[in-house]
Amino acid sequence: MNRLRSIVKSVLKSVLPLRIHRLLRARHRDFVFWRAMKRFLKHPEACIHPGGSVINDLIYGWGNEDWSARDEYLVCCLEHALTVNAPILECGSGLSTILVGAVAKRRGYSHWAFEHTPEWAHKVQRCLNKYKIDSVVLHAKPLKDFGSFFWYDPPLKSMPDSFALVICDGPPGSTKGGRYGLVPIMKERLKQGCVILLDDAGRKEEQEIARRWETELGSPFEVLGRVKPYIKMTMVGK
């Protein structure tokens, strides 16, 4: 399938004007995403394995391959979403918000996602509305200066008291403090046994953040993923 897609793309690129080529490619992405979402929504458990056609089609159809969670990390997030029985928190939004939100809806719990870019939040919310995924609370607000770091500005009074899973793929690594703010801001909302999945473990900044979290939470972490490493940490106590 991927080989055929590459051949078709090469042929179209050589014979069509750039504007028309981009339009056709966007339409093709939309169709591939819609088709894959139908399969995923019907039976997500059957779709979530690294290298699977549905996950690959969803990543392609979403149209943000350079920034979308690679399939190993995305599959890990979905596998955990299928086993937890309490709300999920996501730092940064995107394709994972759509898919994890769909799983959360099936299982009857909420999925909170923080986003600091209004245009990106609009894209994600539009897709959530299209597929009637109403389990997601997408909180879009600029990052807040907490002194030694910037992080999201969560509406704590209206949020659940306890999260069972955290998907941490934001804020951007260039932000002061990177993704460190999760623990000092949300520590009291992470229940015993909560799993934190931190993307981009190939970066030294993320490894340093994980070591700081390990010290502050008293919970060890492990590095997983063969192609694009990510970090998994499980809360052992509070």
pLDDT of residue 24: 73
> Would 156 be classed as within a structural domain?
yes
| Tally of domains within the chain | 1
> Would 142 be classed as within a structural domain?
yes
Vertex 24, ends 22 and 25: CA angle to 5°? 65
> Would 11 be classed as within a structural domain?
no
pLDDT of residue 25: 79
Give the CATH number of the domain where residue 162 resides.
3.40.50.150
Amino acid at 163: F
> Would 206 be classed as within a structural domain?
yes
Q: Which residues pair with 167 in a beta bridge?
A: 90, 197
pLDDT of residue 127: 97
> Would 81 be classed as within a structural domain?
yes
> Would 163 be classed as within a structural domain?
yes
Domain that holds residue 158: 68-234
> Would 164 be classed as within a structural domain?
yes
How buried is 131 (Cβ within 10 angstroms: 0-12 exposed, 13-18 middle, 19+ buried)? middle
Contact 191, 161 (CB under 8 A): no
pLDDT of residue 48: 87
pLDDT of residue 13: 59
Report DSSP state, residue 16: S
How do beta strands 88-91 and 111-115 pair? parallel
Q: Which residues of the chain register pLDDT less than 50?
A: none
> Would 9 be classed as within a structural domain?
no
pLDDT of residue 147: 97
pLDDT tens string 105-134: 999 999 999 999 999 999 999 999 999 999
pLDDT of residue 5: 62
What gap in Å lies between CA 94 and CA 79, rounded to an integer?
17
